[in-house]
Structure 1
Amino acid sequence: MDTIRMLIDGVRAAGDGTLPVRHKATGEVIAEIAVAGASHVQAAVDAAERAFRTVTLSPYERYEIILRAANLMRERREEFAAALVAEAGKPIRDARGEIDRAYQTLILSAEEAKRLRGETVPLAGAPGCENRMAFTIRRPLGVVCAITPFNFPVNLAAHKIGPALAAGNTVVYKPASATPITASMLCDVFREAGLPAGCLNLILGEGGRVGDLLAADERIRMFSFTGSVPVGKALRNAVGFRRISLELGSNSANIVHEDVADVRWVAERCARYAFVNAGQVCISCQRVYVSRSIYETFCEAAVDAARGFRGGDLMDVHTQIGPMISEREAERIDAWVREAAAQGARILTGGARTGAFYEPTVLTDVAPDMKVVCEETFAPVFSIVPYDAIEDAVRAVNDTRYGLQAGVFTRSLAVANYCAEHLEVGGVIIGDGATFRMDNMPYGGVKDSGIGREGPAYAIRAFTEEKLIVLNVEA
């Protein structure tokens, strides 16, 4: 059995103990991870700080290293994808898709290394400043901590590590304990690409203890975290005045207006967005508000789509849904659905669990205060709610503490514009679902969905400090 070791200052390191890594479909132990203690966290930050002070890489050199890492990942696509199948429970088709996206994310990050720029400040337009010039430049912050979740362990790591390195920072990387294999592989490709020792350090272990140790080290100048709301808020409180970017999930909603051209197509798309990656997507389709005139047709089509969603061997390219990340999580959503049913919700299809596998599930007759509606399900479950006026639908979408993205299916410019103006989310997707995301988009939310934006061109702004330069040309 392999032991996944940490990477500190370019050297693989054992920990204070080990934790098992299980195959998410079979439960078999497939590896162990070294568990970090306080000394390992300190050593990793020491290495990152030292590398930031001593390693000099030009923007073009950073571009070359990140691009080489991207190409090495693409060369090892099948190896990465197979690891994702085992440790994350993704069907092979989805696993390959994530690696393809991570490759593009790293390319975007590499390009941004060459685009770091400031702006001219029109200081001469101020009284008494006729002989002065001013401009800004961007400089790296220093040590950045990247903390990633289990659901997209490679691409979300690329979204943090790529822009951080492109900006000239060094990184301490803490992946989810459930998905350390691909994290270790990602560090390997950066090492082989020529990234100097200490610029990327891998720390493993249980999130609570390791996260507390990282947050307490004030040499870390920024934290980039994707995960749950409670952990994100606790981290935000712990880091004080240091920078932080948080992507904390959602209970994403979609509006389906009565004027859509093909109700069945929209229902099938919503179902796909609800069930991909077993619903473990921050912008998974969880709530669908449908015009009452097309409600019944939409429900029928959604049920058909759910029943046609295919499980099976995760290495089969035709398999569309795999297990949830753990049996405990499957038990949680099963309890939530049963609770909703006891409170009056109807299960149109699904609602059954086998180990860590949960059936694609469609609910109706739900109430706003049911957990399956107001909390983040992070499971292959979505609810359909009828509405009479678009204003009612928008109010229902906004009636939540979350606000990541929302989808609006309509052919009406007036409806689209109303939704764009009034939906309280970080992104409004017109003509497609809330789950739509391209890796060059500014991605992030409002309210409890987080702080900041991902997407390399946007993230790199947070990973740099803007410095003002003023020249007195008469001095």
Structure 2
Amino acid sequence: MIEVVQAFDRKPIADIESDDAAALERKLVTARRLFRDRTAWIPVHERMAILERLAALMAAERDALGMQIAREGGKPLTDALVETDRAIDGVRNGVDVLRTKAGREIPMGLTRASDARRAFTIVEPIGVVAAISAFNHPLNLVVHQIVPAIVAGCPVIIKPAGPTPLSCLRFAELVREAGLPDGWCQTFVPESTDLAERLVTDPRVAFLSFIGSARVGWYLRSKLAPGARCALEHGGVAPAIIDRSADLDKIVEPLVKGGYYHAGQVCVSTQRIYVHADLADAFTERFAARVAQLKVGDPTLAETEVGPLITPKEAARVQSWIAEAVAGGARQLGGGSLSETTLKPSVLVEPPRHAKVSTLEVFGPLTCIYAYKDIDEAIESANSLPVAFQASVFTENLRVALDAAERLDASAVMINDHTAFRTDWMPFAGRRESGYGIGGIPWTVDEMTEEKMIVFKS
């Protein structure tokens, strides 16, 4: 049995049955059998109907799903309900993808050797999908892994994050209630990471969808069976650049949201803020004052804006990184702890460039402010790490916006918005150590399918 506790106060929520090696083998046998039997493949119109019913079922229990996210994951209820709404819309997005997903014609007759032929492609599922999910969006992330598999026609086995399995388990139940036949979406909740690795590396798995740390993701990729493909979503140390022309009245609120949403436990959370020296003092004063106003505490209360970290261990780690930066000369504004899991938001001014808070993903309620004199210096600093995901530029100058957007090492650059902006249908991908492959529901469907060409000679 696995005990699930509330992130905020560590009180037990539920005990759930764990899966052993025999259960894993049964799930893999089932998934492989379904994929190999083309007569068992679910027609497109049935997949569309299943997803439409699923969205309706989720909408009917929206409030309960949001509260479950708040309890097991610690996300403030207001944000947890937003996550639920996004998850419902993500299911509907899967229907939209099914309406347009198709093969294409390949031109023939371009040479004498290719004359008298017509060629086209059809889209086929890649095979069994193994999905490893993360705790910070326990419902929406599994939607981003399970729904594309249903759209693509792939059997999927998903392992939720250890601290937050309940949202995933309930979603899988709803998928079955919506009419997905048995075996096409299976959950896997082992007590040990060894079994999770065995799932990923099994030769019957054709595709790995992984959301989590870079260390684990790249390790698992190195262990995949020959021919297996993967998509890895890791994290970053997201930079935001504030140009001299930026309007301080417009930028404080989005930067506070980008830095402290879900207590900073977001892979594109705004962490490094580079502000022009002419604005540095005024921005820091306004920003720190707004951060100090954030309501911190029980995530199940509607007024809470910042909840706990996922475990006491993570809270202690963030505190130690802050202490290291302060010992190295950083000025700390705010901070402190409310409980073993809940930290008050902190702002660090001019931490050392080699400190952990400047070079590694904090995944906590902390942002760092650095002053610069020339934007080239800010861009160079923003691009100085081996991670690259999303970035931001705040400016009223179009030339600066376009120039910085092109020069920043990022998969997406937001102009006058925080680094954590995302829609569920846009491409979402880390570069270099931050990830591999492309997320976002339509893009993940592409990752989980293959094109087969058919050539007719007449």
Letter of the structure 1 residue corresponding to residue 380 of structure 2? R
1:282-335: CA deviation from partner (whole Å, max 9, x where unpaired): 111100111111111110111111101012342322111111101110000000
Distance 1:215 1:314, change over 3 A: closer
CA distance in 2, matches of 1:171, 1:310: 39
Aligned residue for 2:112, secondary structure, equals coil
Aligned residue for 1:315, secondary structure, equals coil
| 1:466 shift after superposition | 1.2
Letter of the structure 2 residue corresponding to residue 46 of structure 1? V
Query: Does residue 273 of the first structure (1) align with residue 258 of the second (2)?
Result: yes
| 1:51 shift after superposition | 2.2
Letter of the structure 2 residue corresponding to residue 107 of structure 1? R
Letter of the structure 1 residue corresponding to residue 323 of structure 2? R
Query: Does residue 246 of the first structure (1) align with residue 235 of the second (2)?
Result: no
CA distance in 2, matches of 1:351, 1:447: 34
Query: Does residue 31 of the first structure (1) align with residue 17 of the second (2)?
Result: no
Contact 2:390/2:420 (CA < 8 Å) preserved in 1?
A: yes
2:392 is matched with which residue? 407
Letter of the structure 2 residue corresponding to residue 58 of structure 1? P
1:193 is matched with which residue? 178
1:7 is matched with which residue? none
Q: Which runs of 5+ in 2 are unaligned?
A: none
1:299 is matched with which residue? 284
Contact 1:50/1:198 (CA < 8 Å) preserved in 2?
A: no
TM-score between the two structures when normalised by the length of structure 1: 0.93
Query: Does residue 455 of the first structure (1) align with residue 403 of the second (2)?
Result: no
Query: Does residue 237 of the first structure (1) align with residue 214 of the second (2)?
Result: no
| 1:204 shift after superposition | 0.3
2:306 is matched with which residue? 321
Contact 1:427/1:445 (CA < 8 Å) preserved in 2?
A: no
| 1:351 shift after superposition | 4.2
Aligned residue for 2:114, secondary structure, equals coil
Contact 1:167/1:460 (CA < 8 Å) preserved in 2?
A: yes
Residues 182-221 of structure 1 aligned to structure 2 (within 5 Å):
182-206=167-191, 208-221=193-206
CA distance in 1, matches of 2:391, 2:374: 17
Count of aligned pairs between the two proteins: 455
1:383-436: CA deviation from partner (whole Å, max 9, x where unpaired): 011111121111111101111100111122221221222111111111211111
Aligned residue for 2:413, secondary structure, equals strand
| 1:353 shift after superposition | 5.4
CA distance in 1, matches of 2:353, 2:307: 29
Question: Structure 1 residues 96-105 or 387-396, which shifts more?
Answer: 387-396
Identity %: 35
Query: Does residue 398 of the first structure (1) align with residue 395 of the second (2)?
Result: no
CA distance in 2, matches of 1:439, 1:410: 26
Aligned residue for 1:189, secondary structure, equals helix
Contact 2:108/2:114 (CA < 8 Å) preserved in 1?
A: yes
Contact 2:299/2:308 (CA < 8 Å) preserved in 1?
A: no
Identify which of 26, 35, 43 aligns with 1:52.
Answer: 35
Letter of the structure 2 residue corresponding to residue 19 of structure 1? I
Distance 1:226 1:421, change over 3 A: same
Distance 1:457 1:44, change over 3 A: same
| 1:19 shift after superposition | 2.0
Letter of the structure 1 residue corresponding to residue 15 of structure 2? E
Contact 2:233/2:436 (CA < 8 Å) preserved in 1?
A: yes
CA distance in 1, matches of 2:338, 2:396: 38
CA distance in 1, matches of 2:190, 2:338: 29
Aligned residue for 1:24, secondary structure, equals coil
Letter of the structure 2 residue corresponding to residue 179 of structure 1? T
CA distance in 2, matches of 1:67, 1:271: 36
TM-score between the two structures when normalised by the length of structure 2: 0.97
| 1:267 shift after superposition | 2.2
CA distance in 2, matches of 1:222, 1:391: 41
2:164 is matched with which residue? 179
2:241 is matched with which residue? 255
Query: Does residue 120 of the first structure (1) align with residue 113 of the second (2)?
Result: no
Question: Structure 1 residues 321-330 or 133-142, which shifts more?
Answer: 133-142
| 1:114 shift after superposition | 2.5
Residues 133-172 of structure 1 aligned to structure 2 (within 5 Å):
133-172=118-157
1:358-378: CA deviation from partner (whole Å, max 9, x where unpaired): 111100111221101100000
Contact 1:345/1:363 (CA < 8 Å) preserved in 2?
A: yes
Contact 1:409/1:431 (CA < 8 Å) preserved in 2?
A: yes
Letter of the structure 1 residue corresponding to residue 59 of structure 2? R
Contact 1:112/1:163 (CA < 8 Å) preserved in 2?
A: no
Contact 1:331/1:353 (CA < 8 Å) preserved in 2?
A: no
Question: Structure 1 residues 82-91 or 347-356, which shifts more?
Answer: 347-356
2:2 is matched with which residue? 19
Contact 2:332/2:348 (CA < 8 Å) preserved in 1?
A: yes
CA distance in 2, matches of 1:64, 1:368: 53
CA distance in 1, matches of 2:366, 2:192: 27
| 1:180 shift after superposition | 1.0
Two-structure CA RMSD over aligned residues (Å) = 1.3
Identify which of 278, 281, 287 aligns with 2:272.
Answer: 287
Letter of the structure 1 residue corresponding to residue 229 of structure 2? R
1:26-56: CA deviation from partner (whole Å, max 9, x where unpaired): 1112112322221111111111112223423
Consecutive aligned runs of 4 or more in structure 1 exceeding 6 Å deviation: none
Letter of the structure 2 residue corresponding to residue 49 of structure 1? R
CA distance in 2, matches of 1:216, 1:348: 46
Letter of the structure 2 residue corresponding to residue 367 of structure 1? P
Query: Does residue 95 of the first structure (1) align with residue 65 of the second (2)?
Result: no
CA distance in 2, matches of 1:112, 1:380: 36
CA distance in 2, matches of 1:468, 1:368: 52
Question: Structure 1 residues 265-274 or 80-89, which shifts more?
Answer: 265-274
Distance 1:110 1:223, change over 3 A: same
Distance 1:353 1:342, change over 3 A: farther
